Structure 1
Amino acid sequence: MSAAAVNPHAGVKNGRKRRPYLIMEWMDARELEQKDIAEKAGIKAQSIVSRTIRGGANNRKVLTALKELGCPERYLGLPADMQGDQ
């Protein structure tokens, strides 16, 4: 998939650049589950994690948790104000 490719199933602006399958592969390789991301983000609803990964939502807590856990930013399609932050 090229850098300009979009997620045709996403409904949110930045979420359209998210790579859900790469995020899920990354999580699987680290034996992380959505509940782990929800816990790290401090949220109770795993559905928010799922929607954010798939690009249907842009929950900043979830995106920050994924980023802090080491998920490559190029997979996340981050909003401009979250890009490059450490």
Structure 2
Amino acid sequence: MGLRMASGKLRQSFRIYEWLDSHKISVTSIAESIAITPSMVSHTIRGRKNNRRVLKKLVDLGCPQEFLSLPIDLEKQVAA
């Protein structure tokens, strides 16, 4: 099948929030930069959602991918 089912369940949300805090990046600023709600960003960080725009933005900002537990299709895009 090739898709990692429920990849968000393995997301290390505490580490992501720590990383965001250490880089002075807010959930609201991420939401505003990609024109979605802060709650969608939070749900994605906590693994309840798998919003690819949020995950891509976190990767672009430099968040370590091992914290994110990216879906396989997004991992391939990031690697390319």
Query: What band does the TM-score fall into relative to the shorter chain?
Result: 0.7 to 0.9
CA distance in 2, matches of 1:31, 1:74: 20
Match of 2:7 among 1, 8, 14: 14
Greater percentage in helix: 2
Q: More relative contact order in 1 or in 2 (CA 8 Å, sep 6+)?
A: 2
Give how far 1:42 is off.
Answer: 2.6
Task: Give the TM-score normalised by structure 1.
Answer: 0.80
Q: Distance in 2 between matches of 1:63 and 1:40?
A: 13
Q: CA RMSD in A?
A: 1.4
TM-score, normalized by length of structure 2? Answer: 0.85
Stretches of structure 1 lacking an aligned partner (at least 5 in a row):
1-11
Matches within 5 A, 1:69-80: 69-80=61-72
**Structure 1 ranges of 4+ moved more than 3 A:** none
Aligned length: 74
Percent sequence identity is 42
